[in-house]
Amino acid sequence: MNTENIPQTHVAAEGSEDAAYEIPAAPARGAVMTGTVVSATEFDVVVDVGYKYEGVVSASEFDEIPAPGSTILVEICAIDDEHGRIVLGHRDAARRAAWEDIVEAHRDRTPVRGLVSKKVKGGYIVDCGIECFLPFSKSGVRRGDSDDAVLGSEIVFYIDSIDERRKRAVADRKTYLEEERQKEVAEFLPGIKPGDVLEGTVTGITDFGAFVRVGPIDGLVRKGDVSWRPVDHPSQAVRVGQEVRVVVLDIDAESGKLLLGIKQAQRGRWHDEAAAFAVGQVVTGTVRAVVPEGVRVSLSERVSGFLPREELGKYVRNLSGLTEGDQLTVRIKEIDELNRRVILGHPTR
């Protein structure tokens, strides 16, 4: 057998138990592959790529020198069989692999993770192996937050568009955050109901009310539900960033919106006095005011009830038959602790 032209192969003597084996074929120049770090110094990193001899990568190719035993991506730059060495590169290999990942993520619409490294005109640069541009409009930074809020942070985002020729990509974090929020809302809403008391944080104040974040939702507290004390503006009762207790007043599951009350979560002496009364109980109160809709009746120092006009038939023929200070026997029909309201009826009904 002629062996002159096959230096990569060990050839055993004919009839020997030692079978011939072939050294793996030389990888092509420009090929990208995974190798295992054998050793590393401040100058060179030696890498095993499964060939008959190891390759060398300049330490300048790394931001941090890899530890022996770790696996890295490398590119075949040159093969010098005469001197028994392979020259490898790492940075370009990592970029090529990162770009392929970006293209795949864009095609499949899968999330990408990256580090917001700096702010530029119109947005940010996000490093995920390559540098992607994240416009302010797609950053997901909330109104009122600083433009620097995400700088230095690791974020998750979608690839909005790519330019194959220039190897550039545009990121979209806003859409990713909104989809995640919708998932959280869908999980959160079934677990609450009107009347539940929750802990929240005031996130915004307007002329018509305040917004309180509970779970993944910013619920609305109308101005009249901010405080039992009348206020001209909600800012007189709460401030942004304040931790508050709220009561769920209404839930719109379809739109994912909540109507909340701050005052309804506050218990005080009214509740202490109201505890002395029960639905169905017959009590005697004092007429405090007569209005077209009915009569307001004082039951104790802080608890008053309302007797609707339709309940007055067996008392008097019309409202003019009652005056402030009259004693009136009534039956308690409803006690609404959330709104500090008591509804009254005729004692025999």
For the chain, what is the total number of helices (H) and then of strands (E)?
A: 3, 22
Q: What is the pLDDT of residues 226-278, one digit of tens each?
A: 988 889 999 999 999 999 999 999 998 888 889 999 988 887 788 888 888 99
Element (H, E) at 210: strand 209-214
At 175 the pLDDT is 95
Per the rule left: phi > 0, alpha: psi between -120 and 50, beta: everything else, 292 is alpha
Burial (CB < 10 A; 0-12, 13-18, 19+), residue 295, is: buried
Task: Please give the mean pLDDT across all residues of the chain.
Answer: 85
The band of 26, judged by pLDDT with boundaries at 50, 70 and 90, is low
Q: Are 54 and 67 in contact (CB under 8 A)?
A: no
The band of 313, judged by pLDDT with boundaries at 50, 70 and 90, is low
Q: Which two tokens stand for residue 48?
A: 């095993």
Q: What is the pLDDT of residues 83-102, one digit of tens each?
A: 677 888 888 888 888 899 99
DSSP category for residue 234: G
Pick from 292, 293, 299: nearest CA to 327: 299
In order of their start, the domains of the chain are 9-89 (2.40.50.140), 109-178 (2.40.50.140), 192-265 (2.40.50.140), 272-345 (2.40.50.140)
- For 9-35, letters b (16+ CB in 10 Å) and e give eeeeeeeeeeeeeeeeeebeeeebbeb
Alpha carbons 303 and 259: distance in angstroms, whole number: 26
Using DSSP bridges, classify how beta strands 243-252 and 257-261 pair: parallel, antiparallel or unpaired.
antiparallel
- For 155-177, letters b (16+ CB in 10 Å) and e give bebbbbebeeeeeebbbbbbebb
Query: For residues 88, 89, 93 and 95, what is the CA-based torsion angle, rounded to 10 degrees?
Result: 180
Pick from 56, 52, 29: nearest CA to 41: 56
At 163 the pLDDT is 92
Q: Which two tokens stand for residue 118?
A: 């700096």
Alpha carbons 200 and 212: distance in angstroms, whole number: 6
- pLDDT above 70 covers a percentage of the chain that reads 89
- pLDDT above 90 covers a percentage of the chain that reads 46
Alpha carbons 236 and 232: distance in angstroms, whole number: 7
Note the pTM of the prediction, 2 decimals.
Answer: 0.61
Quick check: 61 pLDDT over 70? yes
